[in-house]
Amino acid sequence: MSDPNDLERLRALDERLAKLKKAQAPEPKVADGHEMAQHAWRMVTELVAGLLIGFGIGYGLDVLLGTMPIFLVLFVLLGLAAGMRVMMRTAADVQRRSMIEAGKTAGDEGD
């Protein structure tokens, strides 16, 4: 049926394929400082945008209605809360993505 020489050749071929797959496997992605800085700037921008939008709405309403600091303070606080909420959601998304990446690299090592 099968020649013992064929089995040895198949084993040798399997070993060569395993070595080639290991050599060509992508390196696990390590988060560099630039990627983390981009996430940090994104969160800062979201927080500042919330504050500025709240300031604009509050100031506009105060000028229209003649009630100077009431709406300004109220909408700045609402803008701060909205900016923090978006910032926290972004942080959770970044953490979820890093956990997925860590799971993929850990799963690839077992194969």
Two structure tokens written together for 65: 């209605």
Q: CB-hemisphere CA count at 13 Å for 15?
A: 6
Kindly report, residue by residue over 17-47, the tens digit of the pLDDT: 888 888 777 766 665 668 888 888 999 999 9
- Phi first, then psi: what are they for 77, rounded to 5°? -65, -40
Ramachandran bin of 66, using left for φ above 0, alpha for ψ from -120 to 50, beta for the remaining angles: left
pLDDT values of the chain reduced to their tens digit, one per residue, 111 residues: 567 778 888 888 889 888 888 877 776 666 566 888 888 899 999 999 999 999 999 999 999 999 988 999 999 999 999 999 999 999 999 899 888 887 876 665 554
Position 101, amino acid: E
Two structure tokens written together for 16: 């060569």
Q: CB-hemisphere CA count at 13 Å for 106?
A: 6
